Amino acid sequence: MADADFYDRMYDYTVKCPEHPRAQVVEDHKQGDQICTSCGLVLNRMIDTGSEWRTHSSDKGGADPSRVGGTEIRFLNGADLGTMITGGKGEAAFDENGAPKYQNRRKSVQSGDDKGFLTAKNEIQQIAGHIGLNKPVVELAISYFQKVHEQENLKTKGRPIAYGVACIYAACRNENVPRTFKEICDASKVPKKEIGKCFKIVQTVLDTPATAVKNEDFIIRFCENLKLPKTVMEATTNIVKVAEQMDLVIGRSPISVIAAAIYLASQASETKLTPKEIGLEVKIADVTIRQAYKLLYERAEDLFPKDFKFATPIDQLPLP
């Protein structure tokens, strides 16, 4: 019996408080601490070596949401990885003079150039999300702004948002992404005139004239968003193409001509749309659509494809 007590004492792994060995020890499961109930001393801290939360890297179609923070912005030389310290509470957060011990040093980490770059980057990402741009276009727009921002003779520091918006428009045109100038300007709070001036400077700095997006790209996008059938889309494409060949729409913007062609084609089909419905999608006034429609209506017989099946004959189409 004595031998048994000896081995029990020898291999006793029970955690006990050195000051109160008979006191009860409780475990804080949330923090992983074992605490003496008599004096509150933390006797042991359990460390969870497992994953902080469940990962879904093996799930189909999902990304691994491991808590490692956002990716480094390769244009900022690591300045985006600074630490933000919140205000402390309690006596431990202040020195004997009442000044906070821990202060946010963000300004010392981030230079003025980086601050302007971040302002433009945030604007680019916000507008991109509003008008549905993909990641390659966003990264291209950011790289454009970096090139413009590095020019010492340009005062981008005072207008980073305007230059950022202009870089979005340049990226959309160079990547053949159908977004109108007005659509991009409406997504920002910068006047169109100022963005237009910045866009000209962006073109000069890039030394590559932005290519114009094809009308077909706008037609496909607008017709898909308006849920028009393929026959109407094909008729719209033919109407715009023939109208330009016949010089019917000289002086009209391409977007207004496309909107008028959509109105003409839809009215001749079973899926009819009003100028107001089309104008809300293409971001132009319905009066502008009617003015361009008047030019197309006069030669409507020559504009439609030969195999187009009219649900409404040309002589019964709405008058301008």
- Residue-number span of the structural domain to which 187 is assigned: 112-206
pLDDT number for residue 87: 59
Residue 73 in domain: no
Quick: pLDDT tens for 200-230. 889 888 887 667 778 888 999 999 999 999 9
Within the chain, residue ranges assigned H as helices are 2-10, 106-109, 112-131, 135-149, 160-174, 181-186, 192-206, 215-225, 230-245, 254-268, 275-282, 286-297, 300-303
pLDDT number for residue 10: 45
Residues 236 and 195 in one domain: no
* The token pair that represents 307 in the structure block: 């195999």
How far is it, in rounded angstroms, from Cα 38 to Cα 86?
34
How far is it, in rounded angstroms, from Cα 231 to Cα 266?
9
Residue stretches of the chain with pLDDT short of 70: 1-13, 29-32, 45-93, 96, 98, 100-114, 152-158, 209-210
> Domain tally for the chain?
3
* The token pair that represents 262 in the structure block: 């959509």
Residues 281 and 179: beta-carbon distance below 8 Å: no
CATH code, domain carrying 26: 2.20.25
How far is it, in rounded angstroms, from Cα 162 to Cα 299?
42
Residue 83 in domain: no
Residue 78 in domain: no
pLDDT number for residue 107: 44
pLDDT number for residue 7: 47
Amino acid at residue number 155: K
Residues 184 and 226 in one domain: no
Residue 52 in domain: no
pLDDT number for residue 41: 80
pLDDT number for residue 79: 47
Residue 35 in domain: yes
Residue 64 in domain: no
pLDDT number for residue 109: 40
pLDDT number for residue 52: 52
pLDDT number for residue 11: 44
